[in-house]
Amino acid sequence: MKRLATAAFLAFLFSIPLWVSSLYVLHVLIITGIFTIAAMSLNLLLGYTGQLSLGHVAFFGIGAYVSSLVSLGFAVHLAPDWLVTLDPQPVWLAIIWAIAISGFCGWAIGRISFKVRGAYFVIVTISFAEVVRLVALNWDELTQGPMALNNIPPLTLSIPGLFEFSFIGKVPNYYLVLMAAIIAYVVIARLVNSQAGRAMIALRENEPLATSVGIEVTRYLVLSAVVSAAIAGMAGALYAQYVQIVDPNIFLFIYTVTMVIMVVVGGKGTLAGPIVGGLIFGLLPEALRSLEIRPELQWVAYGVLMIVIVSILPSGIVPALARWWTDRAARAPSQRDQQTPA
Amino acid sequence: MLGGIYALLGIGLTLIFGIMRVVNFTHGELYSFGAYMMFMFVMLLHLNFFLSLALAMALGVALGAVIEFVLLRKLRGADIDTTMLVMIGAWIAMQNLEQLAWSGVAKSIKTPFRSTPLVLGGLSVAWSRLFVFGVALALIAGADAVVDRTRLGRAMRATFQDSAAARLMGVDIDRVYLSTFALGSGLAAAAGALLGPIFVVTPGMGDLAALKAFAVVILGGLGSIAGATIGGFLLAFIEEMGAGYVSSGYRDAMGFLLIILVLIVRPTGLFSRKERIG
């Protein structure tokens, strides 16, 4: 049943470009997909290890910047007479670099910030994202600062002499993002259902108890941070090669908030949660835009919605639906029992 | 001068954080609320500058009380992440309401102070900045006196140490929480109202202020007014040093680097002896 639903959902997603011809709609879906991937990666930290990271956009942005810089090439002075240059590299290599470097940053930040918990952890992660944003803004030589990196080449796959294919335009990018989302989902699902995933959930539920049965806290937290950051970096790289321009505004806090809302509303700690949340909050702004609602009001609505959801559905939409479903399934036979008189 | 403002922001935040265990993401919005109220009273209603300052602070206290009463009272006993998410929601809603009400254009506020600076020896100080500094110090001293000397302050300190025990001793926790949040919010609004006339007022001004307040709290340690005061001045000093010796673009980064450094080296804050982590 569940498999069937998944297959139907995937078939639906794959079929969309066949019957949707509006480029605008496809564009919205691509951006939604990219942010859903980012939300999925955040869910690994927030939902499964229970650590609220509000610096997640840093990894997304680092992924975007690394992939752009590697594919564009750069020349930068690390010291007055120490010039580091890199010639433009193929985009697939750039994306791999983006994933690797984001993952490395996740490792470094994880090592540092998992020393503290709760509110302090939140503040460290916010600070980290702000520092990265200010570096991107001020290190003109590398990042062009507010001038932004332009003309980022699209992903091109080729086997020399045999075939060459560039992901230009909406439909190829749609499938690219969809494939990336599936890969990210599978990676996260495998991780969560493995021994490491169970260790993470144990940590979330009761850290002292988990420690007492021999779970190495920091190791699993850092592992989840690395995977999470790497996937966010991949999302960032896809974003960069799709929109072909990256500026420091990519690090704005509001994107982190968007990801957090997607995860919390959809249901943290569930595999489907961020997808549901991502689809809702990716498509909702466009729906509101067609109603010609001012963007400020839209954000006010987001804020209020977040308060309401956290207050009445603290675990999010997906767990609530699942509970409703099992309740109904459980009630159905018992009602039949009552109807037949003894 | 900035040190005084940072200290004011930090004290408000550290009281709320220490006593209520709430990470107050609306703190920056109260700061910009104070500045906007100042703008409204001085520039639109043409009230006296000093009266406006008092009114802006009073409204900040009132708004803080409303937030506590409407949002936080129900969440008593909820875990810290839930409260944090609610506060983030409130922050986004408030900031955008502000933008809606006042538009994104930066506003400036006239001050009644002479534009010729006061020259003391080799130093010249603008009168308006001197005033801000003086009021900030007075407010810090006032907040300290409230917490240290009054009955309410004693209840606050008891709640900070152990809220369950405080309740058993007959402390009205709801009242303590309400007044803590209102006091902290009033201080934030005061900071905004004081700084608004010196810089300009924009809807996004609260974000950086809130993050700096967090830096101050972390520097100073939880729930410590003295720590927050020293932390505020330290942060302002380090920012100036950073702006002077590294690059002015990195001025705001200094605070964040400092947060990260302090948390790595001494997670409980520089001036705190209590072993309490999040």
Alpha-carbon distance B246 to nearest alpha carbon in chain A (angstroms): 11
Residue B98 has pLDDT above 50, yes or no: yes
> Average pLDDT, whole number, for chain B?
77
Suggest the residue from A56, A258, A306 to mutate for an interface test with chain B (most B CBs closer than 10 A).
A306
> pLDDT tens-digit profile of B13-22?
888 887 777 7
Question: Is A158 within the bounds of a domain?
Answer: yes
Q: Angle B173-195/B27-39 helices, nearest 10 degrees?
A: 50
**What one-character-per-residue DSSP string does B5-50 give?**
HHHHHHHHHHHHHHHH----TTHHHHHHHHHHHHHIIIIIS---HH
B122 touches A: beta carbon within 8 Å: no
Question: Is A228 within the bounds of a domain?
Answer: yes
* Cβ within 8 Å, pair B93-A119: no
Task: For residue A133, give both structure tokens.
Answer: 């944003």
Number of CB atoms found within 10 A of residue B43's CB: 16
In this complex, which of A118, A120, A131 lies closest to B253 when CB atoms are compared? A131
Suggest the residue from B208, B263, B264 to mutate for an interface test with chain A (most A CBs closer than 10 A).
B263
Question: Is B250 within the bounds of a domain?
Answer: no
Nearest residue to B196 (alpha-carbon basis) of B242, B134, B246, B132 = B132
Question: Is B228 within the bounds of a domain?
Answer: no
Question: Is A324 within the bounds of a domain?
Answer: no
Question: Is A10 within the bounds of a domain?
Answer: no
Q: Closest-CA residue in chain B for A257? A: B88
> pLDDT tens-digit profile of A216-258?
777 888 888 898 999 999 998 888 888 877 888 778 877 888 8
* Cβ within 8 Å, pair B89-A305: yes
* Cβ within 8 Å, pair B263-A124: yes
* Cβ within 8 Å, pair A119-B96: no
In this complex, which of B90, B247, B256 lies closest to A131 when CB atoms are compared? B256
Chain B hits for A277, Cβ within 8 Å? none
* Ranges A31-45, A144-158, B27-41: which has the least confidence: A144-158
Q: Give the pLDDT mean for B135-153.
A: 81
Question: Is B110 within the bounds of a domain?
Answer: yes
> pLDDT tens-digit profile of B184-238?
888 888 888 888 777 777 777 777 788 788 878 877 776 677 778 888 888 888 8
What is the domain count for chain A?
1
- Percent of residues, chain B, with pLDDT higher than 90: 0
Task: For residue A43, give both structure tokens.
Answer: 């869910």
What is the domain count for chain B?
1
| Model confidence, pTM | 0.78
Question: Is A151 within the bounds of a domain?
Answer: yes
Question: Is A215 within the bounds of a domain?
Answer: yes
Rounded Cα distance, B190 and A63, in Å:
41
* Cβ within 8 Å, pair A300-B263: no
Question: Is A243 within the bounds of a domain?
Answer: yes
Nearest residue to B193 (alpha-carbon basis) of B85, B67, B36 = B36
Band of pLDDT at residue B63, cut at 50, 70 and 90: confident
Q: Give the pLDDT mean for A196-209.
A: 80
Q: A–B: how many Cβ contacts below 8 A?
A: 129
Chain A hits for B278, Cβ within 8 Å? 116-121
Residue B106 has pLDDT above 50, yes or no: yes
Tell me the β-bridge partners of B124.
B119
In this complex, which of A52, A134, A314 lies closest to B253 when CB atoms are compared? A134
Structural domain span for residue B192: 2-116+123-205
Tell me the β-bridge partners of B67.
none
Q: SS3 for A100?
A: helix
Residue B271, pLDDT score: 59
Structural domain span for residue A73: 23-252
Residue A341 has pLDDT above 60, yes or no: no
Band of pLDDT at residue A209, cut at 50, 70 and 90: confident
* Ranges A46-55, A117-126, A273-282, B83-92: which has the least confidence: A117-126
Residue A337 has pLDDT above 60, yes or no: no
Suggest the residue from A132, A205, A310, A312 to mutate for an interface test with chain B (most B CBs closer than 10 A).
A310
Alpha-carbon distance B235 to nearest alpha carbon in chain A (angstroms): 14
Question: Is B229 within the bounds of a domain?
Answer: no
* Cβ within 8 Å, pair A127-B260: yes
* Cβ within 8 Å, pair B85-A306: yes
What are the start-end ranges of the H helices in A193-252?
Answer: 195-205, 207-212, 217-243
Residue A292, pLDDT score: 66
Alpha-carbon distance A76 to nearest alpha carbon in chain B (angstroms): 18
Suggest the residue from B24, B76, B79, B88 to mutate for an interface test with chain A (most A CBs closer than 10 A).
B88
CB A224 within 8 A of CB A49: yes
Chain B hits for A111, Cβ within 8 Å? none
Residue B104 has pLDDT above 80, yes or no: no
Three-state SS sequence of A16-55:
HHHHCCCHHHHHHHHHHHHHHHHHHHHHHHHHHHCCCCCC
Question: Is B216 within the bounds of a domain?
Answer: no
* Cβ within 8 Å, pair B86-A305: no
Q: Which residues contact A286 (CB under 8 A, 6 or more apart)?
A: A28
In this complex, which of A118, A294, A306 lies closest to B88 when CB atoms are compared? A306
Question: Is A64 within the bounds of a domain?
Answer: yes
Residue A335, pLDDT score: 53
